Amino acid sequence: MNEQSVIRTQGLTRYFGAQPAVYELSLEVPRGGVFALLGRNGSGKTTTIRMLLGLLEPTRGGASILGYDIRSLPPEARARIGYLTEEHQLYGWMSVRECGEFQSRFFPTWNDKIFRGVIGHFNLRPTALVKSLSRGERAGLCLALTLAPEPELLILDDPAVGLDPVARRALVESMIYLTRRSDRTIFFSTHQLPDVERVADHIAVLDRSVLRACCPLETFRNSVRQVRLRFPGTPRALPKIPGLLQAVRSEGELRVTCVHYNGATEAALRGLAPVQIEETPISLEDAFISYLGDRGEKSFILSETEAQP
Amino acid sequence: MKTLVRKELRENVRLAALGLVVHTLMLVQHYREYVAAPTNMSQPLANPEILWSTAWFCGIFGAVLGWLQVHNERRPDLWAFLIHRPMTRTEIFLGKVMAGLGLYALVVGLPLLGFIVWARLPGHVAAPFELRMLRPVAAYVLTGVLYYFAGMLGDLRQARWYASRVLGVGVAIVVSLLVSEGPAFWPSLLLILIGAAILATAVWGGFQSDGHYRGQPVWGKAALTTALMVGCLIVAFMAAILVSNFFPRGQPSGMTSYAMTTNGIIFKSNGGPGRSLEIVDLEGKPLLDEKTGKPIDVNAFNRRLAAATTLEVAQDGRPGRSTWIQRDLSLAIPWRATQDTLWYYWSRYGRLIGYDIATRRCIGSLGPQGFATDLFGRGDRFSDAATIGGARTLSSTDTAVLQLDLEKRATSTLFTTTADDPILAQQEIARGDYGWQYTMVITKRLVHLLTAEGKPVWQTPYEPARASSTVFQLFLLEPPGQFALWISPGGRADAEERAKQPAHVMWIARDQGVLKSLDLPALPVPHYVPRLEERLSCFVMPPALLSALPAGDAWTWGTRIPRELLLLSWAGAVLLCLPVGLWLGRRYHFSIAAQAGWAVFLLAFGVPGLLAFLSVQEWPAREACPNCKRLRLVDRPQCHRCGADWAPPEKTGTEVFAPLEAV
């Protein structure tokens, strides 16, 4: 294993019944920085995280985290890993302070300043009961409980789900604060693409249980390109284009998004005899949506019958 | 771990408070029932009602507490929050169990302790008490621990069939039944410990693998499989009984027995499948009704039967069939109540102990040599075996039968014998409305019949028919002063031999002694045909268990399980369970060791074993192998048929991979 990797998976696979939830996942997460695991709902992100933490037995394959086999994570490994769950569930009968006291007794590296700082950031009253907190407040409390032990590796499972923009911003700032002041690693899954753009150094994309991308964020940004082709009339049917993600057809126009745009791609597009080919800028969010969306051609041209009121 | 224990205590304190209130109310109800009837002759701490209510409460509360302790955290994210901390899963399990059992002990023990203290304070309970009387309650309190673990297992287990979650309770139910029917205390305690160890290990295994069978340590797997097998055994047994109800019942086997009429004549009654009872004399001629000239009606015959008094004398010192719980609850037997006193026979002192109804305090004891204000008297004791039973007028020592006058607190001697011919049994004999007429006394060598006043009527020597036990039946014949005495081996000897043993009959007249005697031949034993429910239930019984266990004293089976039923059980295992298990094992490509282990298990435990096997195994999915095109198991790194590795995911041409550098 690379000494710089905090997570390494090899052919990690999990089936639920006859359905693979994660299929032959092999990746390495380098030490330091923020690693974002992206994918649509049901693509296998949570399953991957739960397997990495030894909370779900892999069907086959293996993985290690901080050098420990995930099938037998010892307490000292768990002490070095912070884990924020997706639903932010805690004991409803505990108060915010009691949650902190409860958690602090298990973690020898507990930093109460961080705990108080984070709950202060989220404006949480220490006496408030967990069951009376809003989802965003609960997320803040969970984050405080996860950050206060100062873990070496922080694993966050869709931490921003259900948070309002202000809470989301607070969360992202906490993540940035945590990673920038030390060599800690954050591995998080999310749907929030602006957050990814703000904090992620590396990304991995799961598409229908299969890993399709694993690279630095910039590499991904540069790999996805969009071109606009103009035609005098309705464009012809699309030939096979290497790396095609999406093609959207409209009146006299075809917008094509693809990866690894190169000479072969351009030659294939020119075969459609467009009057103009121009590359258009694409935001990271659009690039992700194209990447994660349905592959192939879409059309916005309505047939005559569909157009009639 | 202390933090976790505290958290668990806090989390379940409401349930504990509710349990405490319910249990206290139950005991308060028992208390009210007791104090409402001052002449109630029972020790409330050794009362079967309190025992059963405690058993039910412990079982239900234990199961609910165990279930809730796991259920509170069964949502995946909260479970992850619990598990993901610098503790081993074993420590988390122990923390939960320590807190759970602490609460259980508090809820069950505190009200019971209060009740015991109340009952032991002088002036509250007018009945003897000794610590052994608490053993049955203690056993059921301990059995509740099994239900606690079964409750935990029920919620923890990731069950393939939803209903199979409750199968773990099977161990607790079986142990409860065996404890309540057990012959001795210590084996019952050992059984509780074994049951608790099995269930606790199964729960511990579940904690290691988040409730899945896969990923558990070997001990956890073995315990879980055993626990589920016992649950499956109950389900299969009940299903067999249920199914047998849908089929017509077979005719009962024929049965012949002797009977004696009031004029001292012996007849045989022959019953059989599909025919009414036939009454014949010893030569086989039917008994005819004098009025009709037809064979006599059974009811008319029954009206002619002589009244009999039976005494069974055990001579080998073996305890009877009573369970240890029955024995512990009968340490002090209610004897009789007078207007202002309650009397108990307390076997510990061999004396009658009296209590004043008004003050609820002990007034002293009555022994063979009279009344004493303490429990010991002069060390004189009644004989246990000869005292228990009868109409509570007489008691005896080894050499004397005594009449007791509880109003005067005095005894008077009715009969004496010598030390080399000790008294084995005695009984008052009442006849119709005439009240106490005779007293029968059995000594080692003689049978005596006395009048109620103690005057001898007759005595006759006898030889014990069997070493184990002997039954004496005295028939009072017409005209008065005529008797018949039957001496035969006891029911236990019959059961051991699976046959009715021969009986010796003597006709005796007052002042004339034995007129004649006769040895009745042994009766033919009807051919035993197992019933459908017996066949079905044995088919689903684990053959190893059926072979290892004796059938006890059941008359129908003798002391061994019938060979036919045993063969049926083995046939179920060999012809059904083993082939199915081997086929499934082959289909899912078990290792040779696993295959052999399961084969032995299925062979030994039959249908319940097969059901447990299906309950625990989480079958892996299968997919077509791109290399050999046959179905391969998805949980193996290579195809188990052709050895091919898994192919990497198919490329789409849109992959973006680049080396990642540490930041």
Tell me whether residues A210 and B649 touch, CB distance under 8 A: yes
Q: Which chain B residues are Cβ-neighbours of A53 within 8 angstroms?
A: 80, 84
Domains of chain A with CATH codes: 5-208 (3.40.50.300), 221-307 (3.30.70)
Residues B539 and B442 in one domain: no
In chain A, which among 174-213 make CB contacts under 8 A with chain B?
201-202, 205, 210-213
CA distances A228 to A256, A269, B234, Å, are: 6, 10, 72
- Please state which of the ranges A75-89, A101-115, B529-543 shows the lowest mean pLDDT: B529-543
Highest mean pLDDT among A133-137, B140-144, B484-488: B140-144
| Helix pair angle (B578-587, B592-616), 10° resolution | 110
Read off the pLDDT of each residue in A3-19 and give the average, rounded to a whole number. 88
Within an 8 Å CB–CB cutoff, is residue A107 touching chain B? yes
What is the model's pLDDT at position B65? 96
- Assign B6 a pLDDT band (cuts: 50, 70, 90): very high
Nearest of B344, B352, B404 to residue B376 by alpha carbon? B352
Residue B379 sits at φ, ψ, to 5 deg, of 85, 0
Residues B292 and B333 in one domain: no
Give a yes or no: residue B648 inside a domain.
Answer: no
Task: Give the model confidence (pLDDT) of B314-324 as tens digits.
Answer: 665 554 567 89
Give a yes or no: residue B601 inside a domain.
Answer: yes
What is the model's pLDDT at position B526? 64
Closest partner CB to A53 (pick from B84, B654, B657): B84
Q: What is the CATH number of the domain that holds B375?
A: 2.40.128
Q: How far is the C-alpha of B499 from the C-alpha of A151, rounded, in Å? A: 79
Read off the pLDDT of each residue in B551-564 and give the average, rounded to a whole number. 58
ipTM for the complex shown: 0.87
Within an 8 Å CB–CB cutoff, is residue B651 touching chain A? no
Hey, which residues does B451 pair with through a beta bridge? Answer: B438
Cβ pairs bridging A and B (under 8 Å): 147
CA distances B251 to B240, B529, B532, B533, B562, Å, are: 19, 9, 11, 13, 19
Residues B163 and B296 in one domain: no
* pLDDT of B498 above 70: no
What is the model's pLDDT at position A306? 43
- Please state which of the ranges A168-177, A244-253, B81-90, B524-533 shows the lowest mean pLDDT: B524-533
Minimal C-alpha gap between B209 and chain A (Å): 8
Within an 8 Å CB–CB cutoff, is residue B90 touching chain A? no
Task: Give the model confidence (pLDDT) of A241-296 as tens digits.
Answer: 778 888 888 778 888 888 888 888 888 888 878 888 888 888 888 888 888 876 65
Is the C-alpha dihedral spanning B57, B63, B67, B70 positive or negative? positive
Minimal C-alpha gap between A276 and chain B (Å): 25
Q: How far is the C-alpha of B618 from the C-alpha of B635, rounded, in Å? A: 11
Read off the pLDDT of each residue in B227-242 and give the average, rounded to a whole number. 92
Amino acid at B246: F
Residues B339 and B444 in one domain: yes
Residues B188 and B328 in one domain: no
Give a yes or no: residue B233 inside a domain.
Answer: no
Residues B556 and B599 in one domain: yes
In chain B, which among 194-233 make CB contacts under 8 A with chain A?
209-210, 212, 214-215
Q: Write down the pTM of the prediction.
A: 0.86
Q: How far is the C-alpha of A72 from the C-alpha of B539, rounded, in Å? A: 43
Residues B355 and B206 in one domain: no
Minimal C-alpha gap between A192 and chain B (Å): 20
Q: pLDDT over 70 for what percent of chain A?
A: 92
Buried b / exposed e along B7-18 (16+ C-beta atoms within 10 A)? bbbebbeebbee
Best residue in B1, B9, B13, B81 to probe A by mutation, most A CBs within 10 Å? B81
Residue B301 sits at φ, ψ, to 5 deg, of -65, -40
* pLDDT of A233 above 80: no
Within an 8 Å CB–CB cutoff, is residue A86 touching chain B? yes
Nearest of A65, A117, A82 to residue A188 by alpha carbon? A82
Closest partner CB to A55 (pick from B83, B620, B663): B83
Full domain range(s) for residue B167:
2-211
- Assign A308 a pLDDT band (cuts: 50, 70, 90): very low
> Coil, strand, or helix at residue A25?
strand
Alpha-helical (H) ranges within B353-499 are 384-387, 491-497
Residues B538 and B389 in one domain: no
Give a yes or no: residue B224 inside a domain.
Answer: no
Minimal C-alpha gap between B530 and chain A (Å): 45
> Coil, strand, or helix at residue B126?
coil
- Assign A304 a pLDDT band (cuts: 50, 70, 90): very low
> Coil, strand, or helix at residue B378?
coil
Amino acid at A293: G
Read off the pLDDT of each residue in B404-422 and give the average, rounded to a whole number. 88
Q: Are A290 and A245 in contact (CB under 8 A)?
A: yes
Region of residue A296 (phi > 0: left; psi between -120 and 50: alpha; otherwise: beta): left
> Which of the listed residues B414, B438, B463 is the one where a domain comes to its end?
B463
Residues B287 and B320 in one domain: no
* pLDDT of B484 above 50: yes
In chain A, which among 108-127 make CB contacts under 8 A with chain B?
108
Within an 8 Å CB–CB cutoff, is residue B592 touching chain A? no
Give a yes or no: residue B525 inside a domain.
Answer: no
CA-based radius of gyration for chain A? 23
The H or E element that residue B362 is part of is strand B362-367
**Within 10 A of B642 (CB to CB), how many other CB atoms are there?**
12
Read off the pLDDT of each residue in B485-507 and give the average, rounded to a whole number. 72
Q: How far is the C-alpha of A169 from the C-alpha of B612, rounded, in Å? A: 52
Nearest of B637, B575, B588 to residue B614 by alpha carbon? B588
Read off the pLDDT of each residue in A164-184 and give the average, rounded to a whole number. 75
Q: Which chain B residues are Cβ-neighbours of A11 within 8 angstroms?
A: 637, 646
- Residue B530: cis peptide before it, omega within 30 degrees of 0: no
- Assign B235 a pLDDT band (cuts: 50, 70, 90): very high
Tell me whether residues A243 and B7 touch, CB distance under 8 A: no
Residue B394 sits at φ, ψ, to 5 deg, of -115, 160
> Which of the listed residues B186, B211, B236 is the one where a domain comes to its end?
B211
Give a yes or no: residue B381 inside a domain.
Answer: yes
Tell me whether residues A90 and B78 touch, CB distance under 8 A: yes
Residues B76 and B191 in one domain: yes
What is the model's pLDDT at position A68? 94
Residues B67 and B30 in one domain: yes
Q: Are B207 and B223 in contact (CB under 8 A)?
A: no
Nearest of B252, B130, B245, B149 to residue B195 by alpha carbon? B149
Nearest of A50, A300, A290, A305 to residue A193 by alpha carbon? A290
In chain B, the number of structural domains is 4
- Assign A301 a pLDDT band (cuts: 50, 70, 90): very low
Read off the pLDDT of each residue in B471-489 and give the average, rounded to a whole number. 87
Q: Which chain A residues are Cβ-neighbours of B84 within 8 angstroms?
A: 53, 55, 78, 81, 83
Which residues 6+ apart lie within 8 Å of A162 measured at CB? A135, A136, A139
Q: Are A153 and A184 in contact (CB under 8 A)?
A: yes
Give a yes or no: residue B248 inside a domain.
Answer: no
Which residues 6+ apart lie within 8 Å of A140 measured at CB? A118, A119, A121, A122, A124, A167, A170, A171
Hey, which residues does A227 pair with through a beta bridge? Answer: A256, A279
What is the model's pLDDT at position B337? 87
Both tokens of B567, joined, read: 């063969």
Closest partner CB to B656 (pick from A34, A57, A220): A220
What is the model's pLDDT at position A305? 45
The H or E element that residue B65 is part of is helix B48-71
Q: How far is the C-alpha of B601 from the C-alpha of B597, rounded, in Å? A: 6
- Assign A76 a pLDDT band (cuts: 50, 70, 90): very high
What is the model's pLDDT at position A230? 86
Tell me whether residues A89 and B78 touch, CB distance under 8 A: yes
Hey, which residues does A10 pair with through a beta bridge? Answer: A62
* pLDDT of B598 above 80: yes
Tell me whether residues A17 and B621 touch, CB distance under 8 A: yes
> Coil, strand, or helix at residue B95?
helix
Closest partner CB to A214 (pick from B78, B212, B657): B657
A65 alpha carbon, distance to own chain's centre = 18
Residues B177 and B66 in one domain: yes
Tell me whether residues B636 and A60 touch, CB distance under 8 A: yes
What is the model's pLDDT at position A187? 93
Within an 8 Å CB–CB cutoff, is residue A289 touching chain B? no
Task: Give the model confidence (pLDDT) of B324-377 as tens digits.
Answer: 998 898 888 888 888 899 999 888 888 999 999 989 899 999 988 889 998 888
B558 alpha carbon, distance to own chain's centre = 18
What is the model's pLDDT at position B492? 61
Closest partner CB to B620 (pick from A33, A59, A259): A59
Task: Give the model confidence (pLDDT) of A186-213 as tens digits.
Answer: 999 988 888 888 888 899 999 889 999 8
Task: Give the model confidence (pLDDT) of B192-206 as tens digits.
Answer: 999 999 999 999 999
DSSP structural state of residue A66 = T
Hey, which residues does A246 pair with through a beta bridge? Answer: A257, A296
- Please state which of the ranges A170-179, A293-302, B416-425 shows the lowest mean pLDDT: A293-302
* pLDDT of B466 above 80: no
Give a yes or no: residue B238 inside a domain.
Answer: no
Within an 8 Å CB–CB cutoff, is residue B189 touching chain A? no
Read off the pLDDT of each residue in A103-132 and give the average, rounded to a whole number. 91
Task: Give the model confidence (pLDDT) of B270-282 as tens digits.
Answer: 776 666 778 888 8
Query: Is the pLDDT higher at B74 or at A94?
Result: A94
Q: Share the mean pLDDT of chain B.
A: 86
> Which of the listed residues B246, B276, B302 is the one where a domain comes to its end?
B302
